[in-house]
Amino acid sequence: MGWYNLSEWLDLVLRWFHVMAAITWIGSTFYFMWLGRIFASSERQLVGESGEPWMIHSTGFALTSKFKPGPGEALKMLHWFKRESALTWLSGIVLLFLVYFLSGGAYLAVKVVSTAELIGYAAFSAALIMITWVVYDRLWESALARRPVWAVGASFAFLMLVAWGLSRIFTGRAVYVYVGSILGTVMVGNVWLRVLPAVRDMTNASESGSAHNPATWASGQVRSLHNSYLAFPVVALMLSIHRPAIHASPLNVIVLAVLLIAFVAARHIVVGGRRSKWALGVVALALTGMIMMTGGTPLQDVQRSEAPIEFAVVRALITERCLGCHSTTPADRTFGVTPGGVSFDTPEDIRRFAPRIRQRIIAAEAMPFGNHPRPTAEERDLLGRWVDQGAVLQ
């Protein structure tokens, strides 16, 4: 059993564990956000309802109520949703190093990297993620936090600066993963270092009969609100890495910024209900902009010819640039067998995936991936004309 086979199974198990842990963490977060909206509903209060919702499940009915314990009142059967956040983060960090470093850096850098360079990249990555958390935490504990709009703007600007700097070093896919990892670290740091201390302070104050610290409680509430916003773009970033047309775009950092805005606005729609209908316009405008930015650019500055393109020339080009990975027996097994379900072993396969060739190689310039040399402008033009001429096998 080789390392490749073992890494494939490790990848599957870790991804499953990561997704399941995230479901429990984010699911419980959204549940409590929904409860908060129910309890704070002014419409329910006007008709004399306390906001306590009855819920039904296959096991029966349940009534949920919210209360603040009085001084000296001990809490029994208190459950804190904290382990789920830690498990999500830990499994995500392990996945980051398994996929992006133990694979030899194929997804990470735009050139071949040595073992020493990979170690340096790993140390840099760990330091960057931690430093970003510290900067965010200090910013929101500073006087600027009393002006939330300014603090949000500063946080967003700093994150985009980090993303731009990463884009000077790493591939677009790696940049998106790093930003997702940074935001995930911010979320888990908020839970363990800001929200949980506030809950402990309230719990201890209730049991001892003393007053809780208002500053600690206020900070915990703000960080919990931040997590409710960040959950949406973090999931979108994790999904987007499987779409090369998005992260390989020349405008990928701008697309990243718009993506964050779009999915933060989506949070308003999901949680805010009818009061947040205005956010639909923001989401629609942002998605339209992202689609336009990732649509690729027309081929230009190449002398075009209307002469029919011989398939033998196309196949030779595909064999040189693509077949090393996209095959049932790939020479480079870094990305597995027939990555993305795309194989160019036969002429019929090449013709069948002609639309994909136009999208990934020609329009988005997203392939070949990693350390493999990219087609020249002339080669892209040749492939584009072959597809436009009907992808004829002759």
Instruction: Give the whole-angstrom CA distance, residue 171 versus residue 126.
Output: 17
pLDDT recorded at residue 50: 59
Q: Do residues 191 and 227 touch, judged by C-beta distance below 8 A?
A: yes
Does residue 285 carry a pLDDT above 50? yes
Please determine, for residue 303, whether its predicted confidence score (pLDDT) is greater than 50: no
pLDDT tens sequence across 129-154: 999 999 999 999 999 999 999 999 99
The Cα 159–Cα 129 span in angstroms is 11
pLDDT at 1: 47
CA atoms of 356 and 56, how far apart (whole Å): 46
Which residues are CB-contacts of 355 (< 8 A; sequence separation ≥ 6)? 387
Summarize pLDDT for 324-363 with one digit per residue, the tens.
888 888 877 767 777 777 888 888 888 888 877 877 777 6
Specify which residues 56 forms β-bridges with: 61
pLDDT digits (tens, 9 = 90+) for 245-257: 788 778 899 999 9
Which pLDDT score, from 0 to 100, does residue 145 have? 93
Once rounded to an integer, what is the mean pLDDT over residues 16-42? 79
pTM: 0.77
Counting beta carbons within 10 angstroms of the beta carbon of residue 325, is it exposed (0 to 12), middle (13 to 18) or buried (19 or more)?
Answer: buried
pLDDT band at 186 (very low <50, low <70, confident <90, very high): very high
Please, which residues have CB within 8 angstroms of residue 128's CB and are 6 or more apart in sequence? 162, 178, 182
Best-predicted range by mean pLDDT among 2-16, 103-117, 181-195?
181-195
Query: What pLDDT is attached to residue 294?
Result: 79
| Number of other CB atoms surrounding residue 149 within 10 Å | 7
Q: Which two tokens stand for residue 111?
A: 């050139």
Check residues 128 and 336 and name the one with the higher pLDDT: 128
**Rounded mean pLDDT of 281-287?**
91
Placement of tokens 């900067």 in the chain: 135
**Does 269 have pLDDT greater than 70?**
yes
- pLDDT reading at 305 higher than 60: no
pLDDT at 153: 96
Residue 120 pLDDT > 80 = yes
Query: Band of the pLDDT at 170, cuts 50, 70, 90?
Result: confident
> What mean pLDDT is predicted for residues 304-310?
71
- As a whole number of angstroms, the distance between CA 210 and CA 202 comes to 9
The per-residue pLDDT for range 58-74, each reduced to its tens digit, is: 667 666 666 565 555 55
Nearest to 258 by CA among 236, 275, 277: 236
- Average pLDDT over all residues of the chain: 81
Check residue 279 and give its pLDDT: 87
pLDDT at residue 277, as a whole number: 82
**Residue 392 C-alpha from the chain's centroid:** 39
Task: Locate the domains of the chain by residue range.
Answer: 82-293, 311-388
pLDDT mean over 295-301: 50
CA distance 209 to 70: 8
Burial of 309 (0-12, 13-18, 19+ CB in 10 A): buried
Q: What does the pLDDT average to over 91-106? A: 81
Residue 292: pLDDT band by 50, 70, 90 thresholds? confident
